[in-house]
Amino acid sequence: VATVDGRRAPAEDARPVQPRTSGHISTEPPTRKHRRGIGWRMRRNWDAYLYLAPGLLLFSVFTVFALGFAFYLTFHEWNIIEPDRPFIGLENYRDMLEDERFRRSVYNTMYFTGASVPLTMLIGLGVALLLNQPLRGRGILRTLYFLPVVTPFVVVAIVWKWLYNGDFGLFNYYLLKTHLIDEPLLWLADKNLAMPAVILMSVWGGVGFSMVVYLAGLQSIPEELYDAAKVDGAGAFARLRYVTIPMLRPTTLFLLVMGIIGSFQVFTQIFVMTSGGPVDRTTTMVFYIYEAAFKFYEMGYASTLAYVLFAMLFVFTLIQLRLYRRTNT
């Protein structure tokens, strides 16, 4: 790393050792052959550690320690109020496997993710493809599709809760008016409709993000590829199928990973719109963790659930990266 060029040598001679100001440059005299010891290098770069200190301190407490403590809690029973937390081995894990509500919450989370992530990405891609043309007013259109993304999620959930209102909601009004339904639907209070309703709202809230990421992805595709495809006689659909979609693969992977991570943690909509009901039909994993910890005060069990969520996300992400790498080579 030490690029010893002509310009630096005089400066070095003038100020032989400057521990405080030398970071990247090694100021060792060119004659010295051996690397200095680790202690010397640490002392010499003491200020680098100083710059790192605030971040490292917060990180150690709120992430590293927290991870360890949560893991410790998974083997204990603790209601947070009492000082003692008895060690119970794998009891929490065993309870979890037999817990009907936990199974329900995993199913609900999968249902939510499996529907909302692909829908959000597909619609986002569609809008991006249409917007990626010299349209008049495309800036405005893009802004309008993106607005839900910048709206606080709590607000989105509040407004949609009203739209789904059984007696006065806009959904029922327009569906009844167009005779698509004969009876008002209960939406969030109906055990088969509640989850689809939450999904529809979440898709609405997320399309703008996929659209913008896809637009950026579309921009990075070289125009020459399209020209070459045209020369080969590829029509619009063939160009989409064989040029655009494959070239968007990294973008798609990014959105998929982010989408799955995000929707596995779905909580706000559930809290505001359904509180997990009706009869647990919208109780997702994070909502269940929240209830276990701060409604039933079972800190050990809640930590166990949280770790399982973490493990699932981890495995999902690894599989996706692996698949991506395999299909890419």
Partner 1 sequence: VNGALVRVGWRHAGRRHKLGMVLAYVVLVPGALLFVAPFAWMLSASFQPLGDIFSWPPQWIPKDPTVDGYKTFLGLGETTGAGTEAENPWRWFVNSAFVASSVTALQLFFNSLAAYVFAKRQFPGRDLIFLGFLATMMVPGQVTLIPNYIVLKHIPLFGGNDIFGQGGHGWLDSYYGLILPGAVSAFGIFLLRQYMMSIPDELLDAARIDGASEFRIYSRIVLPLTGPALAATAIFTFTYTWEDFFWPLIIISSPDHYTAPLGLALYVVKNRTAWDVLLPGSVIATLPMIIVFLIFQRRFIQGISLSGLKG
- Closest to partner 1 by CB, 115 or 164: 164
Residue 63 C-beta: closest distance to partner 1, Å: 5
- Closest to partner 1 by CB, 194 or 212: 212
- Closest to partner 1 by CB, 20 or 326: 20
Residue 128 C-beta: closest distance to partner 1, Å: 9
148: tokens are 């839900």
- Closest to partner 1 by CB, 191 or 295: 295
Instruction: Please state, in angstroms and rounded to a whole number, the distance separating the CA atoms of residues 123 and 120.
Output: 5
φ, ψ at 192 (rounded to 5°): -95, -20
Angle at which helices 91-98 and 299-328 cross, to 10°: 70
Instruction: Please state, in angstroms and rounded to a whole number, the distance separating the CA atoms of residues 4 and 268.
Output: 57
- Closest to partner 1 by CB, 96 or 261: 261
Q: Which residues pair with 87 in a beta bridge?
A: 76
Residue 12 C-beta: closest distance to partner 1, Å: 9
- Closest to partner 1 by CB, 60 or 327: 60
224: tokens are 């020459």
Secondary structure (3-state) at 76: strand
Look at phi and psi of residue 276 and say left if phi exceeds 0, alpha if psi is from -120 to 50, else beta.
Answer: left
Residue 191 C-beta: closest distance to partner 1, Å: 20
Nearest to 29 by CA among 43, 10, 44: 10
7: tokens are 């310009």
Buried b (16+ CB within 10 A) or exposed e, 89-128: eebbeebbeebeebebbbebbebbbebbbebbbebbbebb
Residue 75 C-beta: closest distance to partner 1, Å: 14
- Closest to partner 1 by CB, 195 or 301: 301
- Closest to partner 1 by CB, 63 or 327: 63
Residue 245 C-beta: closest distance to partner 1, Å: 17
Residue 181 C-beta: closest distance to partner 1, Å: 15
* Angstrom distances, CA of residue 227 to CA of 33, 39, 221, 285: 57, 59, 12, 48
Residue 54 C-beta: closest distance to partner 1, Å: 5
Nearest to 209 by CA among 150, 269, 154, 268: 150
